[in-house]
Amino acid sequence: MARLQNHPSPPDKSPLWRESFLASASSLTPFYRLFDHLPDVAFFAKDAQFRILCASRLFYERFGFSSEQEIVGRDDFELFPKRLAEAFRRDDEFILRTGESKLNLVELFFNRQGLPDWYVTNKLPVKDASGAVIGVMGTTHGYEDRKTLLAPFFQLDKAIAFIRSNFRKTVSVEELATQVHLSVRQLHRKFVEAFGVGPQAFILKLRIQAACEALQNDSAQISEVAKDVGFCDQSAFTQAFHRHIGLTPRQFQVQFRIRRH
Protein backbone atom coordinates (compact mmCIF):
# COMPACT_ATOMS: atom_id res chain seq x y z
CA MET A 1 0.00 0.00 0.00
CA ALA A 2 1.46 3.34 -1.00
CA ARG A 3 2.45 5.53 1.91
CA LEU A 4 0.37 8.63 2.24
CA GLN A 5 2.34 11.87 2.09
CA ASN A 6 1.47 15.03 3.90
CA HIS A 7 1.03 17.89 1.47
CA PRO A 8 0.69 21.51 2.51
CA SER A 9 -2.59 23.19 1.81
CA PRO A 10 -2.80 24.59 -1.72
CA PRO A 11 -2.02 28.30 -2.00
CA ASP A 12 -4.84 30.79 -2.13
CA LYS A 13 -5.85 30.97 -5.79
CA SER A 14 -7.30 34.44 -5.35
CA PRO A 15 -5.04 37.15 -6.81
CA LEU A 16 -6.35 39.76 -4.38
CA TRP A 17 -3.53 39.37 -1.88
CA ARG A 18 -0.99 39.70 -4.69
CA GLU A 19 -2.68 42.74 -6.20
CA SER A 20 -2.92 44.33 -2.77
CA PHE A 21 0.79 43.81 -2.15
CA LEU A 22 1.84 45.23 -5.53
CA ALA A 23 -0.55 48.18 -5.19
CA SER A 24 0.87 49.04 -1.80
CA ALA A 25 4.52 48.77 -2.93
CA SER A 26 6.02 52.25 -2.97
CA SER A 27 7.99 53.74 -5.85
CA LEU A 28 10.74 53.94 -3.24
CA THR A 29 11.08 50.17 -3.75
CA PRO A 30 11.95 49.93 -7.47
CA PHE A 31 12.18 46.22 -8.25
CA TYR A 32 14.19 46.92 -11.39
CA ARG A 33 17.17 47.97 -9.25
CA LEU A 34 17.87 44.23 -9.02
CA PHE A 35 19.17 44.48 -12.60
CA ASP A 36 22.01 46.64 -11.31
CA HIS A 37 23.48 43.47 -9.83
CA LEU A 38 23.15 41.25 -12.89
CA PRO A 39 26.20 41.33 -15.18
CA ASP A 40 25.55 41.91 -18.89
CA VAL A 41 21.82 42.56 -18.40
CA ALA A 42 20.39 46.07 -18.84
CA PHE A 43 16.80 47.10 -18.11
CA PHE A 44 14.78 50.05 -19.41
CA ALA A 45 11.18 51.24 -19.45
CA LYS A 46 9.45 53.94 -21.51
CA ASP A 47 6.08 55.65 -21.38
CA ALA A 48 3.61 55.96 -24.28
CA GLN A 49 5.49 59.07 -25.47
CA PHE A 50 8.65 56.93 -25.77
CA ARG A 51 10.42 58.74 -22.93
CA ILE A 52 12.76 56.80 -20.66
CA LEU A 53 11.03 56.28 -17.30
CA CYS A 54 13.64 54.17 -15.59
CA ALA A 55 16.87 52.41 -16.41
CA SER A 56 19.31 50.08 -14.72
CA ARG A 57 22.89 51.14 -14.16
CA LEU A 58 24.28 49.16 -17.10
CA PHE A 59 21.76 50.83 -19.43
CA TYR A 60 22.47 54.46 -18.51
CA GLU A 61 26.23 53.96 -18.15
CA ARG A 62 26.22 52.66 -21.74
CA PHE A 63 25.55 56.28 -22.81
CA GLY A 64 28.12 57.83 -20.50
CA PHE A 65 25.69 58.95 -17.79
CA SER A 66 26.60 58.60 -14.13
CA SER A 67 23.07 58.48 -12.72
CA GLU A 68 19.60 57.37 -13.74
CA GLN A 69 18.21 60.89 -13.47
CA GLU A 70 20.43 62.02 -16.35
CA ILE A 71 18.65 59.71 -18.78
CA VAL A 72 15.06 59.93 -17.48
CA GLY A 73 12.85 61.86 -19.92
CA ARG A 74 15.08 61.30 -22.96
CA ASP A 75 14.03 59.28 -26.00
CA ASP A 76 15.89 57.10 -28.49
CA PHE A 77 16.47 60.00 -30.88
CA GLU A 78 18.49 61.72 -28.17
CA LEU A 79 20.52 58.60 -27.44
CA PHE A 80 21.07 56.83 -30.76
CA PRO A 81 21.87 57.71 -34.37
CA LYS A 82 18.72 58.51 -36.34
CA ARG A 83 18.50 55.25 -38.30
CA LEU A 84 18.85 53.13 -35.17
CA ALA A 85 16.35 55.28 -33.28
CA GLU A 86 13.82 54.90 -36.11
CA ALA A 87 14.10 51.10 -35.91
CA PHE A 88 13.63 51.12 -32.13
CA ARG A 89 10.65 53.45 -32.46
CA ARG A 90 8.94 51.09 -34.92
CA ASP A 91 9.29 48.23 -32.42
CA ASP A 92 7.89 50.37 -29.60
CA GLU A 93 4.96 51.58 -31.70
CA PHE A 94 4.09 47.98 -32.58
CA ILE A 95 4.02 46.98 -28.91
CA LEU A 96 1.94 50.01 -27.89
CA ARG A 97 -0.51 49.36 -30.72
CA THR A 98 -0.89 45.60 -30.36
CA GLY A 99 0.08 44.82 -26.76
CA GLU A 100 2.31 42.04 -28.10
CA SER A 101 5.89 41.45 -27.03
CA LYS A 102 8.93 41.42 -29.31
CA LEU A 103 11.41 38.86 -28.05
CA ASN A 104 14.94 37.74 -28.88
CA LEU A 105 15.76 40.62 -31.21
CA VAL A 106 19.37 40.06 -32.28
CA GLU A 107 21.31 43.28 -32.74
CA LEU A 108 24.90 44.37 -33.16
CA PHE A 109 26.10 47.28 -31.02
CA PHE A 110 29.39 48.58 -29.77
CA ASN A 111 30.51 47.42 -26.34
CA ARG A 112 32.47 49.43 -23.75
CA GLN A 113 35.72 48.47 -25.46
CA GLY A 114 34.56 50.05 -28.72
CA LEU A 115 34.10 46.75 -30.54
CA PRO A 116 30.92 45.59 -32.28
CA ASP A 117 29.27 42.87 -30.24
CA TRP A 118 26.07 40.83 -30.24
CA TYR A 119 23.15 41.72 -27.99
CA VAL A 120 19.71 40.20 -27.56
CA THR A 121 16.82 42.54 -26.75
CA ASN A 122 13.41 41.64 -25.33
CA LYS A 123 10.55 44.17 -25.24
CA LEU A 124 7.22 43.74 -23.45
CA PRO A 125 4.19 45.99 -22.92
CA VAL A 126 3.57 47.86 -19.66
CA LYS A 127 -0.14 47.83 -18.76
CA ASP A 128 -2.26 49.76 -16.29
CA ALA A 129 -4.86 48.29 -13.92
CA SER A 130 -7.46 48.19 -16.70
CA GLY A 131 -5.18 46.30 -19.08
CA ALA A 132 -4.45 49.25 -21.38
CA VAL A 133 -0.90 49.44 -22.75
CA ILE A 134 0.79 52.53 -21.31
CA GLY A 135 4.44 51.87 -22.07
CA VAL A 136 7.23 49.52 -23.03
CA MET A 137 9.81 47.76 -20.88
CA GLY A 138 12.72 45.66 -21.95
CA THR A 139 16.05 44.03 -21.31
CA THR A 140 19.24 43.85 -23.30
CA HIS A 141 21.58 40.91 -22.77
CA GLY A 142 25.20 40.43 -23.75
CA TYR A 143 25.68 37.55 -26.17
CA GLU A 144 27.65 35.29 -23.79
CA ASP A 145 24.52 34.16 -21.97
CA ARG A 146 22.43 33.89 -25.13
CA LYS A 147 24.66 31.90 -27.44
CA THR A 148 21.99 29.37 -28.38
CA LEU A 149 19.78 32.16 -29.75
CA LEU A 150 22.64 33.40 -31.89
CA ALA A 151 23.52 30.03 -33.42
CA PRO A 152 22.29 30.96 -36.93
CA PHE A 153 24.56 34.00 -36.93
CA PHE A 154 27.56 32.00 -35.81
CA GLN A 155 27.64 30.37 -39.22
CA LEU A 156 29.47 33.58 -40.06
CA ASP A 157 31.45 33.76 -36.82
CA LYS A 158 34.85 33.66 -38.52
CA ALA A 159 33.85 36.44 -40.90
CA ILE A 160 32.47 38.55 -38.05
CA ALA A 161 35.61 37.94 -35.96
CA PHE A 162 37.76 39.13 -38.87
CA ILE A 163 35.58 42.19 -39.42
CA ARG A 164 35.63 43.02 -35.69
CA SER A 165 39.40 43.20 -35.81
CA ASN A 166 39.80 44.86 -39.18
CA PHE A 167 36.73 46.98 -40.04
CA ARG A 168 38.68 50.19 -39.41
CA LYS A 169 40.98 49.20 -42.28
CA THR A 170 40.26 48.46 -45.91
CA VAL A 171 38.65 45.02 -46.09
CA SER A 172 37.83 43.61 -49.51
CA VAL A 173 35.08 41.05 -49.99
CA GLU A 174 37.60 38.78 -51.71
CA GLU A 175 39.91 38.93 -48.69
CA LEU A 176 37.02 38.24 -46.33
CA ALA A 177 35.81 35.29 -48.41
CA THR A 178 39.31 33.79 -48.39
CA GLN A 179 39.46 34.09 -44.59
CA VAL A 180 36.30 32.01 -44.18
CA HIS A 181 36.91 29.62 -47.11
CA LEU A 182 33.82 30.65 -49.07
CA SER A 183 33.34 31.99 -52.55
CA VAL A 184 32.44 35.67 -52.83
CA ARG A 185 28.94 34.68 -53.99
CA GLN A 186 28.44 32.29 -51.04
CA LEU A 187 29.66 34.89 -48.56
CA HIS A 188 27.35 37.54 -49.97
CA ARG A 189 24.35 35.20 -49.84
CA LYS A 190 25.01 34.23 -46.22
CA PHE A 191 25.36 37.88 -45.16
CA VAL A 192 22.13 38.86 -46.87
CA GLU A 193 20.32 35.94 -45.24
CA ALA A 194 21.62 36.83 -41.76
CA PHE A 195 21.73 40.63 -41.86
CA GLY A 196 19.74 41.78 -44.86
CA VAL A 197 22.81 43.39 -46.48
CA GLY A 198 26.01 42.26 -48.16
CA PRO A 199 29.38 42.21 -46.39
CA GLN A 200 30.56 45.60 -47.70
CA ALA A 201 27.36 47.31 -46.58
CA PHE A 202 27.70 45.52 -43.24
CA ILE A 203 31.26 46.81 -42.78
CA LEU A 204 30.21 50.34 -43.75
CA LYS A 205 27.40 50.21 -41.20
CA LEU A 206 29.89 49.27 -38.48
CA ARG A 207 32.18 52.12 -39.49
CA ILE A 208 29.34 54.63 -39.30
CA GLN A 209 28.25 53.26 -35.94
CA ALA A 210 31.83 53.47 -34.66
CA ALA A 211 31.96 57.07 -35.90
CA CYS A 212 28.77 57.90 -34.00
CA GLU A 213 30.35 56.54 -30.84
CA ALA A 214 33.53 58.55 -31.38
CA LEU A 215 31.75 61.81 -32.28
CA GLN A 216 30.01 61.81 -28.90
CA ASN A 217 33.34 62.63 -27.31
CA ASP A 218 33.54 66.40 -26.83
CA SER A 219 37.18 66.49 -27.96
CA ALA A 220 36.61 64.44 -31.14
CA GLN A 221 37.94 65.94 -34.39
CA ILE A 222 35.95 64.94 -37.47
CA SER A 223 39.03 64.46 -39.65
CA GLU A 224 40.59 62.17 -37.04
CA VAL A 225 37.37 60.18 -36.61
CA ALA A 226 37.13 59.72 -40.38
CA LYS A 227 40.67 58.35 -40.50
CA ASP A 228 40.20 56.16 -37.43
CA VAL A 229 37.13 54.37 -38.78
CA GLY A 230 38.69 53.63 -42.14
CA PHE A 231 37.72 56.42 -44.57
CA CYS A 232 40.26 57.71 -47.04
CA ASP A 233 39.35 61.36 -46.42
CA GLN A 234 36.89 63.56 -44.56
CA SER A 235 34.80 64.27 -47.65
CA ALA A 236 34.07 60.57 -48.28
CA PHE A 237 33.31 60.13 -44.60
CA THR A 238 30.91 63.09 -44.54
CA GLN A 239 29.00 61.81 -47.58
CA ALA A 240 28.66 58.28 -46.20
CA PHE A 241 27.71 59.52 -42.73
CA HIS A 242 25.02 61.83 -44.09
CA ARG A 243 23.63 59.06 -46.30
CA HIS A 244 23.23 56.70 -43.34
CA ILE A 245 22.42 59.04 -40.45
CA GLY A 246 20.63 61.92 -42.20
CA LEU A 247 23.03 64.48 -40.68
CA THR A 248 26.57 65.57 -41.40
CA PRO A 249 29.16 64.60 -38.76
CA ARG A 250 29.25 68.23 -37.57
CA GLN A 251 25.46 68.44 -37.31
CA PHE A 252 25.44 65.16 -35.39
CA GLN A 253 28.05 66.47 -32.95
CA VAL A 254 26.19 69.72 -32.34
CA GLN A 255 22.83 68.00 -31.97
CA PHE A 256 24.20 65.40 -29.59
CA ARG A 257 25.94 67.99 -27.39
CA ILE A 258 22.83 70.20 -27.19
CA ARG A 259 20.66 67.24 -26.18
CA ARG A 260 23.26 65.87 -23.81
CA HIS A 261 23.73 69.14 -21.93
Q: How is domain 167-260 classified at the CATH fold level?
A: Arc Repressor Mutant, subunit A (1.10.10)
- The Cα–Cα gap between 64 and 234 comes to 26
Q: How do residues 227-251 score in pLDDT, each as one tens digit?
A: 999 898 899 999 999 888 778 999 8
CATH number of 31-147: 3.30.450.20
The pLDDT, as a whole number, for residue 67 is: 93
Are 255 and 78 contacting, i.e. CB atoms less than 8 angstroms apart?
no
Phi-psi region for residue 12, left (φ > 0), alpha (ψ -120 to 50) or beta?
A: beta
Looking at the DSSP bridge assignments, the partners of residue 46 are 52, 136
> What SS3 state is found at 133?
strand
What pLDDT is stored for residue 85 in this prediction? 82
- 43 contact partners, CB below 8 Å, separation of at least 6: 32, 35, 54, 55, 56, 59, 137, 138, 139
Cβ atoms of 201 and 108 closer than 8 Å: no
Sheet harboring 41-47: ordered strands across?
52-55, 41-47, 133-142, 116-127, 102-110
Say which residues have a Cβ less than 8 Å from residue 44's Cβ, sequence separation at least 6. Answer: 52, 54, 55, 56, 59, 137, 138, 139, 140
pTM: 0.60
If one counts every other C-beta atom within 10 angstroms of the C-beta of residue 229, the result is 23
Average pLDDT, 10 consecutive residues per value, the chain (261 residues)? 54 70 78 86 94 93 88 90 81 95 76 63 92 94 58 67 84 87 88 79 85 83 92 91 86 71 56
Question: Can you give the residue ranges of every domain in the chain?
Answer: 31-147, 167-260
Are domains 31-147 and 167-260 of this chain identical in fold? no
Q: What share of the chain is helix, strand, coil (3-state, %, to 5)?
A: 50, 15, 30
